[in-house]
Amino acid sequence: MKICRYLLLLLSLSMAFLLRAEPIPDWLQELDSLKHRQPEQSLAILTARQPEFSSQPDAVKAYWLRQQAALYSALGRHQQQQQAARQALELLQDTESALKVEVWYELGYALEMQVQLTEALSHYQQGTALATLLDNEKLILRGQINQAAIMSEQNNDQQALTLLKDVYQRAELLQDPEVLAEVNAQLGLMYSSLAFEDDALEFLQRALVLYQQLGWVKNEIAVLFNLARTYSYQENYQQALDHFNQMLQRSLAANDSVNLYHAYLGLAITSAEMSRTGAALGYIEKAEQYLANLQSSYHVQSHHYEKALIYRDLEQTSLAMQQVMLAEQASRQPAEQADHVALAIKLLRAELLAQQDQYQKAYFALHDFIDGFQQLRNKENELALEQIRLEFDSERQQVRTSLLEAENELKALRLQEVERKRQIQLLWLGILGCTTLILLGIVLWQFTRRAGKTRREKTDLPL
């Protein structure tokens, strides 16, 4: 097995070498450092050189498409990120390289941002498996961070947290600032979702410092958003507003329309939580100017739901109902449903109908909510049972492996026992042989002595 694995690794490295044998243009390699700091400018450079793409070798094309996917990711254009990543994978299908691992991660992230979690997790696992084969610790850790994010989204928090803690310890040993920033950011988000806000703030602040040192503006803005939301969970609303305003200023300076949306939305939600409903409406209307830049029906659905809540608090029931209808239309788009948000929308619809004295319709809407809630619980229970089954199968396999190892150890002990007995037998035979020789020597000595004595006695007789 080891020989086969080494041969496979050697073949993979050989293919990777052949892929990288084609020289990557310097300007394209420079985008590696520029894309995290100035993604808009990087994409402009890539677009301006697009006529050169078709004349490039496959190795350069794959590298080009991977850079393009990363830039689309930074700009929130996840459908285009997905398309670029798939094209790169087609070019890399006969190779096993670090570049292919990075493309798997780009594709996984694009699907994750479109709430296609199962497929995203599968791609992350494929990338991590290849990174493990290549023995690339940095890529392994990045893949496991991505997997933990999906586990958290799937409400498998305990497994996600255990994995992240292990990654954190290994990242500390690796001392790679990029991986350290990523794992601190993800741990902060994880602890925030679990309501351990103090721990969350500690990890998020570390991540913020690391991203600032790296100069990764988009990631820094994302951490500011998570810090602001964590302060909001603590009902420390002024700190939340301060961080949303910092995020807003950074987004304006970077001309980042996607994060401008999230900054204004965060200011709107926090203002609503502080009962500043008029200010909340102003912020969410500003956010709406950037909503078209988000390529996700989930975000559109959530936006209209939050706006409906604000109108409800302003006692503008008709306008709130319009937003509920827009949210329901968005949820029918061909994307994986965000069940919790869909249920919240149904419950809000029932509440608004009751406020309009349409009690029968409110009853039916509430009935839909209860049915949906029960379906969600059943789905979560099925997932939990499936997880238990997988864990049981894993434990059973571990037991089988342990029994096989014990059986092999027993066989080895038996062989050792047989060998020991054989050695003891040889030892006794050796002792017996030596004893026999000694006794034989004594007998011969005695016989020789007697024969000599007899000859002397015969010599001494008188004639």
Distances (CA, A) of 183 to 153, 164, 166, 203, 373: 16, 7, 10, 9, 33
Report the share of the chain in percent with pLDDT over 70.
Answer: 80
Long-range contacts for 374-383 (Cβ within 8 Å, ≥24 apart)? 376/339, 376/340, 376/343, 379/339, 380/155, 383/154, 383/155
Q: Which of 4-18, 150-164, 222-236, 334-348 has the highest mean pLDDT?
A: 222-236
pLDDT at 201: 94
pLDDT at 440: 75
Residue 276: count of CB within 10 angstroms of its CB: 17
More confident residue, 456 or 304: 304
pLDDT at 400: 60
Query: In terms of Cα–Cα distance, which of 345, 394, 395 is closest to 365?
Result: 345
Given a cut of 60, whether residue 170 has pLDDT beyond it is yes
- H helix and E strand count, the chain: 19, 0
For residue range 103-151, what is the model confidence (pLDDT) as tens digits?
A: 999 999 999 988 888 899 999 999 999 999 999 999 999 999 999 999 9
HEC assignment per residue over 46-70: HHHCHHHHHHCCHHHHHHHHHHHHH
Answer for the pair 218, 74: CB distance below 8 angstroms, yes or no. yes
| Mean pLDDT, rounded, for 382-397 | 50
Answer for the pair 344, 380: CB distance below 8 angstroms, yes or no. no
Given a cut of 70, whether residue 40 has pLDDT beyond it is yes
The H or E element spanning position 153 is helix 137-153
More confident residue, 13 or 49: 49
Q: Give CA angle at 322 (320, 326), nearest 5°.
A: 115
For 316, left (φ over 0), alpha (ψ -120 to 50), or beta? beta
φ, ψ for residue 368, nearest 5 deg: -60, -40
* Residue 24: band (very low, low, confident or very high) from pLDDT cuts 50, 70, 90: confident
Q: What's the predicted TM-score (pTM) here?
A: 0.71
Please tell me whether residue 357 adopts helix, strand or coil conformation: coil
| Dihedral (Cα; 346, 351, 355, 356), 10-degree rounding | 20
Spatial distance between the Cα atoms of 112 and 155, rounded to a whole number of angstroms? 15
The H or E element spanning position 431 is helix 359-460
More confident residue, 354 or 162: 162
- Going by the DSSP 8-state scheme, the letter that residue 29 receives in this structure is H
pLDDT at 372: 65
Spatial distance between the Cα atoms of 47 and 201, rounded to a whole number of angstroms? 39
Spatial distance between the Cα atoms of 130 and 125, rounded to a whole number of angstroms? 9
Among 56-70, 100-114, 283-297, 418-432, the minimum mean pLDDT is found in 418-432
pLDDT at 101: 94
Given a cut of 70, whether residue 60 has pLDDT beyond it is yes
* Residue 341: band (very low, low, confident or very high) from pLDDT cuts 50, 70, 90: confident
Q: Give CA angle at 147 (143, 151), nearest 5°.
A: 170
Spatial distance between the Cα atoms of 370 and 82, rounded to a whole number of angstroms? 36
Given a cut of 90, whether residue 180 has pLDDT beyond it is yes
pLDDT at 207: 95
| Mean pLDDT, rounded, for 400-408 | 65
Site of tokens 């050796």: 430
Spatial distance between the Cα atoms of 263 and 242, rounded to a whole number of angstroms? 11
Token pair in block for residue 328: 């329901």
Residue 20: count of CB within 10 angstroms of its CB: 15
Answer for the pair 148, 167: CB distance below 8 angstroms, yes or no. yes
Mean pLDDT (the chain) is 81
Q: Give CA angle at 368 (340, 296), nearest 5°.
A: 35
| Residues comprising the chain, all counted | 463
